[in-house]
């Protein structure tokens, strides 16, 4: 008998005598690990229909707070009954579950009472909705990581009280697949908060790592090697892409999403105070220049070529939509996302006025402003679409009362007014045991072909047994797949149109170069030029522009002032900007430079690393405002309850 054979025998004997309970626990752990690697698969039909459509609910930015208990109370009283009525396949909560702020907004740290409130509220919602707790997926937001030095530590309450934490979804990337008879719908949640959670406001951006991007790539491709059903891919996270930094290897979430041509990316973070059209269409193209990748002027990438290539083997554009949704904190917002035969749509709901008895959600045709892509047009013009998916107008109707009738109306806006050109009764096509009432009406879709993507408008009305009428929001549609160009407001453009993480260093060094130029060039003129630049020289050609050089030259004649400004600029480049305590209950102070906060890594034997870039853009102006507020209110909290700092 060899040594290896003897050891193998001992190993086999050990397996035999393992208690059944331990073996069962091991099987559960193995099953849980396997599920995290590939993701859970849910058969959403189970004989209940409707077979062609699935829908999920998204909530974001709950900000449960001990200082605002009405947020959690409204959440329980509204969301529980609404989820029972909607009966979604998934409930996605995309970050900022708790607020983590003091009443005066000066202290930002995790509060266990808020997390206990969140846990209790979610248990109540699950109970009232009658849904399986396993279909709820919640993610960290930046508020959920304020002052958390390490994930899994004593201040990481998310790991203890969130649903993902309770269900041992410990990975930064988690996926779940909703499978119907003809489609797979892959949802992938990603947590891009900083592994070392700084206290706010230097915790504003998502920070995906190379490891996270590799895992995300793997999860999004998990069905690619299996032929058969088409796969609709929808990732969801907290941070918009404009507020997501690059990884160590300069890769981005956008790169991964474009590679897989996901249908949409669902996110939160910005709330509704910046606008209600926080959507952005992303597309990769050889004609898109570097500057256009940094700054996108409109919600849509302008088409580089109006012609469509239908030849065999022609490359399809890689593209996707980014849909940021409103917040529960103030707006009491909720979103329903539906996928009907591959067509992805959504509606945003506002519950500030209370519960809704009926919700009407059109699922086809799609809104030409916020939902169509260039691939939609290509499929239509090249006849690659599924004709049966175009032959009916379809809608989901969720109601607390029986529905008596559903009517679709189409209006033509070409005359300058909305003239109704079609009115048809819709027929319920789902069975009595269905998860919702699904309605359809046949139409001649080719009659609505038009080069204008916002000529025709759709509205659907439902009347319940109490004779209450509910109408959907009017939406433009384009059968041809042509996208209506929609512009942002200036506030929407400010938060969605810029890739702030890539612009931080160019903006920083441009400002530094400008300041140095205004100091050094006039100084050089005084030293090396033979001309005498006096007040009379500049006043001869009156004007503000001619006065600026005179002011700069006069500044150079004041050595103390000139040297002070130059020294200040040099200080900003080589010295710390702030000194403070970035973690709760940690007396150790760290410093911040333009490269970020220099913190001691918890997994690199005391090695310091810079984190929080480009988040530091918000630090200086916020700290000045906070300091001013403290002086005005006569407060000085000291200790670990706030930052102590110097301002360069």
Query: CA–CA separation, 125 vs 425, rounded Å?
Result: 35
Query: CA–CA separation, 597 vs 581, rounded Å?
Result: 10
pLDDT top residue among 619 and 136: 136
End-to-end CA distance of the chain: 76
Backbone region of residue 521 per phi and psi (left: phi > 0; alpha: psi in -120 to 50; beta: other values): alpha
Q: How confident is the model at residue 21 (pLDDT cuts 50, 70, 90)?
A: very low
The three-class DSSP label of residue 617 is: helix
Taking only the tens place, the pLDDT of each residue in 469-517 is 999 999 999 998 888 888 999 999 999 999 988 888 899 999 999 999 9
Over 90: is that where the pLDDT of 279 sits?
A: yes
Query: CA–CA separation, 244 vs 214, rounded Å?
Result: 16
Over 90: is that where the pLDDT of 581 sits?
A: no
Any bridge partners for residue 609, and if so which?
599
Q: The pTM is what? A: 0.86
Query: CA–CA separation, 399 vs 406, rounded Å?
Result: 12
Instruction: Find the mean pLDDT for residues 80-105.
Output: 93
Query: CA–CA separation, 143 vs 602, rounded Å?
Result: 21
Residue 140 pLDDT: 95
- Give the residue among 265, 230, 232, 231 at the shortest CA–CA distance from 58: 265
Sheet holding 427-428, edge to edge: 358-364, 392-399, 437-442, 427-428
Query: CA–CA separation, 254 vs 250, rounded Å?
Result: 11
Q: Where are the alpha helices (DSSP H) in 62-104?
A: 70-74, 80-86
**Cβ-based neighbours of 180, under 8 Å, separated by 6 or more:** 44, 45, 51, 52, 54
Residue 582 pLDDT: 74
Query: CA–CA separation, 43 vs 49, rounded Å?
Result: 11
Query: CA–CA separation, 375 vs 377, rounded Å?
Result: 5
- Calculate the average pLDDT of the chain: 83
Residue 553 pLDDT: 79
DSSP state at residue 387: G
Task: Check if the beta carbon of residue 286 is closer than 8 Å to that of residue 317.
Answer: no
- The DSSP secondary structure of 385-406, one letter per residue, reads S-GGGTSEEEEEEEESS-EEEE
Residue 208 pLDDT: 95
Over 80: is that where the pLDDT of 569 sits?
A: yes
Task: Check if the beta carbon of residue 260 is closer than 8 Å to that of residue 233.
Answer: yes
Q: How confident is the model at residue 147 (pLDDT cuts 50, 70, 90)?
A: confident
Over 70: is that where the pLDDT of 592 sits?
A: yes
Taking only the tens place, the pLDDT of each residue in 53-74 is 999 999 999 999 999 999 999 9
Taking only the tens place, the pLDDT of each residue in 188-200 is 999 999 888 887 7
Task: Check if the beta carbon of residue 476 is closer than 8 Å to that of residue 453.
Answer: yes
């Amino acid at each position: 008998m060899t040594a290896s054979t003897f050891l193998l025998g001992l190993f086999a004997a050990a397996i035999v005598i393992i208690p059944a309970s331990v073996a069962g626990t091991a099987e559960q752990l193995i099953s849980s690990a396997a599920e995290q690697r590939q993701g859970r698969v849910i058969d959403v039909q189970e004989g209940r229909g409707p077979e062609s459509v699935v829908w999920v609910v998204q909530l974001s930015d709950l900000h449960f707070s001990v200082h605002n208990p009405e947020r959690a109370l409204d959440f329980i009283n509204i969301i529980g009954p609404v989820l029972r009525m909607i009966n979604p396949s998934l409930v996605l909560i995309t970050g900022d579950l708790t607020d983590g702020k003091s009443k005066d907004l000066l202290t930002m740290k995790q509060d266990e009472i808020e997390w206990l409130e969140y846990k209790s509220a979610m248990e109540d919602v699950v109970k009232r909705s009658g849904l399986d707790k396993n279909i709820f997926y919640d993610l960290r937001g930046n508020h959920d990581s304020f002052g958390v030095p390490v994930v899994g530590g004593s201040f990481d309450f998310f790991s203890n009280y969130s649903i993902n934490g309770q269900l041992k979804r410990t990975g930064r990337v988690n996926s779940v697949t909703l499978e119907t008879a003809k489609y797979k719908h892959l949802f992938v949640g990603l947590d891009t908060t900083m592994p070392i959670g700084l206290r706010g406001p230097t915790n504003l951006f998502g920070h995906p790592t190379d490891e996270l991007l590799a895992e995300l790539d793997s999860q999004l491709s998990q069905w690619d090697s299996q032929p058969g059903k088409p796969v609709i891919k929808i990732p969801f996270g907290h941070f918009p892409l404009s507020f997501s930094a690059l990884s160590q290897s300069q890769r981005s979430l956008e790169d991964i999403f474009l590679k897989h041509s996901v249908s949409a990316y669902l996110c939160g973070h910005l709330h509704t105070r910046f606008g209600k059209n926080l959507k952005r269409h992303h597309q990769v193209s050889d004609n898109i220049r570097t500057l256009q990748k940094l700054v996108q002027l409109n919600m849509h990438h302008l088409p580089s070529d109006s012609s469509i290539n239908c030849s065999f083997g022609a490359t399809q554009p890689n593209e996707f939509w980014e849909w940021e949704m409103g917040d529960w904190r103030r707006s009491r917002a909720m979103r329903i996302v539906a996928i009907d035969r591959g067509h992805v749509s959504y509606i945003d709901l506002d519950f500030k006025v209370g519960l809704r008895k009926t919700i009407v959600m059109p699922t086809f045709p799609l809104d030409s402003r916020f939902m169509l892509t260039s691939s939609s047009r290509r499929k239509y013009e090249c006849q690659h679409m599924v004709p049966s998916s175009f032959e009916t107008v379809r809608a989901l109707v969720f109601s607390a009362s029986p529905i008596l009738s559903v009517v679709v109306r189409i209006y033509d806006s070409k005359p300058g007014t909305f003239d109704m050109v079609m009115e048809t009764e819709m027929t319920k096509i789902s069975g009595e045991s269905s998860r919702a009432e699904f309605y359809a009406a046949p139409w001649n879709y080719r009659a609505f072909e038009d080069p204008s993507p916002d000529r025709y408008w759709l509205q659907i009305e439902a009347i319940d047994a109490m004779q209450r009428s509910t109408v959907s929001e009017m939406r433009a549609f384009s059968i041809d797949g042509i996208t209506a160009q929609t512009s942002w407001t200036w506030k929407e453009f400010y938060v969605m149109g810029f890739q702030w993480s890539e612009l931080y260093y160019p903006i920083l060094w441009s400002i530094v170069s400008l300041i140095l130029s205004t100091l050094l060039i006039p100084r050089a003129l005084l030293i090396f030029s033979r001309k005498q630049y006096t007040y009379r020289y500049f006043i001869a050609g009156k004007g503000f522009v001619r006065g600026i050089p005179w002011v700069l030259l006069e500044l150079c004649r004041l050595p103390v002032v000139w040297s002070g400004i130059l020294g200040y600029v040099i200080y900003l480049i080589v010295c710390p900007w702030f000194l403070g305590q970035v973690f709760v209950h940690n007396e150790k102070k760290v410093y911040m430079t333009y490269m970020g906060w220099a913190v001691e890594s918890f997994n690199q034997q005391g090695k310091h690393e810079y984190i929080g870039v480009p988040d530091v853009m918000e630090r200086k102006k916020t700290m000045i405002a906070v300091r001013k507020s403290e002086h005005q209110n006569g407060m000085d909290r000291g200790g670990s309850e706030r930052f102590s700092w110097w301002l360069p």
